[in-house]
Amino acid sequence: MKKLRNDPEMLEEYDFSIGVRGKYAKRYAEGTNVVVLDPDVAEYFPDHESVNKSLRSLVSIIKKRRKAGEKVG
């Protein structure tokens, strides 16, 4: 596998000749909510569904505590 001269990490078989510059720029500029989990936490959350389910459970608990007048956080 040869590497391109102008970028040592770019392999020659990467072909961007039909790529569209800025195709996702607008979507990216609107923001992203990607969160990277530490490996020890990710072990318990194999996918986005399990993370969302767990966070929704926490939100429910927080709301109940706030209604009861407890200080949260």
Say how far apart CA 47 and CA 50 lie, in whole Å: 6
Predicted pLDDT of residue 5: 63
The answer to whether the beta carbons of residues 66 and 72 sit under 8 Å apart is yes
Residue 69 pLDDT > 90, yes or no? no
Structural domain boundaries enclosing 54: 43-73
Residue 58 pLDDT > 90, yes or no? yes
Say how far apart CA 29 and CA 26 lie, in whole Å: 5
Place of tokens 């200080």: 71
Domain-embedded: residue 1: no
- What pLDDT digit, counting tens, does each position of 10-35 carry? 888 888 888 999 998 988 888 878 88
How many CB atoms are closer than 10 A to CB 35? 7
Predicted pLDDT of residue 12: 81
Predicted pLDDT of residue 39: 94
How far CA 18 is from CA of 23, 25, 53, in Å, comes to 12, 17, 40
Count of structural domains within the chain: 1
Q: Is the pTM of this model over 0.85?
A: no
Domain-embedded: residue 24: no
